[in-house]
A and B are shown apart, each in its own frame.
Chain A
Amino acid sequence: MDAADLDDDVTDAPEPSDDATDPHDAHDPQAHDATDRDEPAAPRRRWPRWNAVAGLVVLVYVVVWAAALTHISDRNTFNRWGQAMGSLGARLAVSVVVLAALFHTFDGMRRAAIAAKPALTARDERLRAGVLFLTWAVALPSIAVIVWPWIAETTR
């Protein structure tokens, strides 16, 4: 997935309900103009909510990991779960977590940087491209490292 793919993914449909209370609208002069003149709102291209999706994936991971840790005293059970982590399915699931963690982190840093220094909004396009580049640049080798032992063992 690259920036272009993400662009294709964004919805052009106006937000049905949330936008009425979306704090952004209070700061979006275009949105107000369109409403004030009773013109149909121009379709807005939106950065898809991948950050929320990634955050949800990471939250599920943290909850599962924390819940598993509470059973660490039962060593046999915990080790059985650990062995299951060697399967291909578990490795792919971990890969998704790594990808989500990277994207959520880098995009969160972009957001935090803009919140701290609003002038950076002017460079938002570049920052978003940088987020995608960094995410995939780190994620692809990491996923290879995670999955490779299973491939090596299976093809041996």
Chain B
Amino acid sequence: MSVTTPPDDLVDDGSDHGHAVPEPPSEPVRPPEEGWGWHLRQIVTWLLAVLLLVQVFGTWVFHDPGHFGVGFYVLRWQHTGWRFFDAAFVALALTHGGLGLHHLVASRCRSEGARMAAAIVIGVVLASIGLLAVSTILTFDLTP
């Protein structure tokens, strides 16, 4: 979600799309105070760019959705790498999506309390689903 990198908003929100070519900003897009956090978000963004497409295409395009079922994952998770891939995808995607959703919701909340409540609800719900899914992926018994 766009919102994980604040500099994106700076670039995206106000350009004269369809008119004059926007000039490069005179200030650096990356705020200087953001150190490792900015780099971490960049790495996660590029990682997810690969993980998301591999997951979606590997599950729904290269395989017929009509043949989706336990057998699909039994075959897939025989390779430990796929287990870790799916677990990493769930964890990263929910973290990335949770941060984005929080940014979206928080920008519409007027009070600090509402913002905090939104952060807690989003965090608890997504963390619960994520932890359950990751533990299922890593511990699922492949024997019928």
Query: What residues make up the interface of A, taking CB atoms closer than 8 Å to B?
Result: 7, 10, 18, 21-25, 27-28, 31, 44-47, 51-52, 55-56, 58-59, 61-63, 66-67, 69-70, 72-73, 75, 78-79, 81-83, 85-86, 90-91, 94, 97-98, 101-102, 104-105, 107-109, 111-112, 114-116, 118-119, 121-122, 124-125, 128, 142, 145-146, 149-150
Instruction: Fill in one digit per residue for B123-142: 1 if any A CB lies within 8 Å of its CB, else 0.
Output: 00010011011001100110
Complex Cα spacing A133 to B86, Å: 29
Instruction: Fill in one digit per residue for B16-29: 1 if any A CB lies within 8 Å of its CB, else 0.
Output: 11110111110111
A51 CB to closest chain B CB, in angstroms? 5
B90 touches A85 (CB 8 A): no
Count residues on chain B whose CB falls below 8 Å from chain A CBs.
Answer: 67
A residues less than 8 Å from B29 (CB atoms): 114-115, 118, 121
B residues less than 8 Å from A146 (CB atoms): 60-61, 65
B52 touches A111 (CB 8 A): no
B residues less than 8 Å from A115 (CB atoms): 5, 7-8, 11, 29-30, 38, 42
A116 touches B42 (CB 8 A): yes
For the A-B complex with A55-B100, A66-B130, A104-B1 known, give 16 more contacts whose Cβ atoms are closer than 8 Å.
Answer: A24-B9, A24-B14, A27-B25, A28-B14, A46-B13, A55-B97, A56-B1, A59-B101, A62-B90, A63-B94, A70-B136, A83-B66, A83-B69, A114-B7, A114-B8, A146-B61
